[in-house]
Structures are given as structure tokens and as C-alpha cells.
Amino acid sequence: MTAAVSLIWLGLLPLLVQSLDFTYHNSSQLEAILKDFNSRYPAITYLYSIGKSVEGRDLWVFVVGKYPTKHTVGIPEFKYVANMHGNEAVGREILLHLIEYLLTNYQSNATVTQLVTNTRIHLLPSMNPDGFAASSPNDCDSVNGRFNKNGYDLNRNFPDAFEENKDPVQPETQAVMGWIKSETFVLSANFHGGAMVASYSYDNSYTVPPDNDVLMYLAQKYSENNLQMYSSNSCPGFSGFTNGITNGAVWYKVKGGMQDYNYIYNQCVEITLEVSCCKYPDPSTLQGFWNDNKVSVIEYIKQVHMGMCLDIFIQ
């Protein structure tokens, strides 16, 4: 090749950016991917860390939005949180693929353009990076990596309105609590694995929440766009759900959970999404999980625009 021709080839290289692969990405890869997206789409993205895990890993949040760096009047704040149980790994990759989908479809797809223009979307792909580092693929049922490095279950670590939670607040929980206080989030979901269902508050009381109709509607908005979830019987041993949704406490009671904390103390509806029967399935299944969830993740974000006025109010 002559020098001139190779220069032309080098000039083309930046255009040939590879799309995100369907595999699990460790902490350093995840950080590199987020920084790469941020540098390729600086106008509509913002990357920040809300704190560090016990082992010192950053808890990265990636924002997609027309005004990504700060709140703008009239533009609601939305969030997705994944991987708070470190061994429940599918949501972590779903969020990375969602970022790529939003960025590559902005300005070419009208729906995505409108969503990114009118919403500030915050994505925390891993709330428990230490737990993820301690877990491994094809481990469907164990608790290896579920807890943070100090051995606490982060989804039992939040202040609880129904029962005193005496567990010391962990760095990851503290970071999320500070984050929730610093942004006016109005809608959220957190991703888990080990079942297929969208679960809604309350998690720690059989009382019917004042916004029960809204919560059920939102959970079903997610489930009805995921056929596996909606069929309610896709995981062995689970057949008691209807339309892929359940009240949290009716399924099993959770003290110190994140979704009740968001809803009760912060007037932000959060639902819990169980998206895979196996907690950490083989990487070859990831493309299928993305396909099964990609309509739901978009439809659920859209709901932030339906204009919710909640009845819940606890100071």
C-alpha cells in the first residue's frame, strides 16, 4: 500500500467503531465503554460517579438527554439501576445495550429522538461492582457475589418506613441515597435476576399503597412488552403470577428494600424487574435477553411523561 492510501484508511478508522458485543463486561471494560460512549456523543451524554464501592470501584452513572449535565425545568429525571445483587448480571448488560440503542438511534428514529430530547435518563449499570467481580457466569442460584464486600444485601439496606432497619448503611447504599436526594427522580426501576416478574410496592407491608393503580399499571407496562415475563410461567417453580406482575409483599416480604425507599421517602415510583430465571446465565443468552427487553425498557421510560401525581406523602 502506498503512503497516501494508508493515510486514507487511517482517516476512515474512527468511523468503523465496533458495536457493543453481547458478553459480560468487567468493571474496567464497563468504565472504558462508558467513557467511549461519552466521548463519541458528548452533546447528549454525561458520565459521573455517585461514590465508590467498599473495594473502591466507582459507581458510574451514565446520562442520556438533550441537556445531560443538569436538571432543566420541564424535563423529568428518570433512572434505571442494575446489578445491586452482584451475581444478577443480565440487567447490567441490558443497560449498556440500552445506552448504545439510544445513542445510535437519536436523530434517526423519531421515538428515540423525542425520548432523549424530553427526558434526562440516568443509568447505573452496576450498584454492586464488588459483588459482580466475585461472581461468575452459569451460576444460576447461589448467593456468591449477591452481597457487597462487607456481606450486606444492598436491597435490605435502606431505611424502612414499616420496621426499623438496624443494619449499618453501606457505602453503595449511601451513594444511592445521596444520589436520590440530589436529583428529582420521578420514575425508576431496578433490575434483578432469578425470576421473571415486575414487582411493585409495598415490599414490606400488606397494606395497599395509596397509588396502587399507578404502580400496577407501570409494572404491567414493562411486563406486557416482554412476552416471556408476561406469560408468567417461564421459570421453573413459578406459576403464581398474573400478567407477569406481583405486589412485592404478597410474593415475599422485604425489609429495607430500595423500591419502597424510593416510593415512600422520595415520591419516586420504582419497580423491581426480575428479568432472567438464571441469575448469571451463559453469555450466549445475552442477545436474546436484550431482544426480549428492548421494547419494555423504552416503553417504561416513556411512562415518565404520563403526568403522575402521587398520593404517597411521608416526610
Ligand X SMILES: *[C@@H]1O[C@H](CO)[C@@H](O)[C@H](O)[C@H]1NC(C)=O
CB of 21 to Zn ion, least distance (A): 25
Which of 77, 88, 270, 274 is an active site residue? 274
- At 75, list the grid cell: 424535563
Residue nearest to Zn ion (CB): 192
140 vs 298, which CB is nearer to ligand X? 298
- Report the partner that residue 192 touches, choosing among ligand X, Zn ion, none (CB closer than 5 to 8 A by kind): Zn ion
**Residues near ligand X (CB under 6 A):** 26, 28-29, 109, 111-112, 298
- At 65, list the grid cell: 438527554
CB of 44 to ligand X, least distance (A): 16
> What secondary structure does DSSP assign to 17-54, as a single string?
PPPPPSS---HHHHHHHHHHHHHHSTTTEEEEEEEE-T
Site for Zn ion in 46-85 (CB under 5 A): 85
301 vs 312, which CB is nearer to ligand X? 301
**Crossing angle of helices 286-302 and 212-223, rounded to 10°:** 140
CB of 189 to ligand X, least distance (A): 17
CA–CA–CA angle 37, 39, 40 (5° rounding):
65
225 vs 262, which CB is nearer to ligand X? 225
In DSSP terms, which residues pair with 271 in a beta bridge? 189
Torsion angles phi and psi, residue 305, rounded to 5: -95, 5
Instruction: Determine the Cα–Cα distance for residues 52 and 175; give it in Å rounded to an integer.
Output: 8
- Answer yes or no: 274 catalytic: yes
In DSSP terms, which residues pair with 48 in a beta bridge? 61
Site for Zn ion in 84-103 (CB under 5 A): 85, 88
Residue from the set 192, 234, 246, 256 that interacts with Zn ion by CB under 5 A: 192
Q: Which positions are catalytic?
A: 274
Rule CB under 5 A: which residues touch Zn ion? Answer: 85, 88, 192
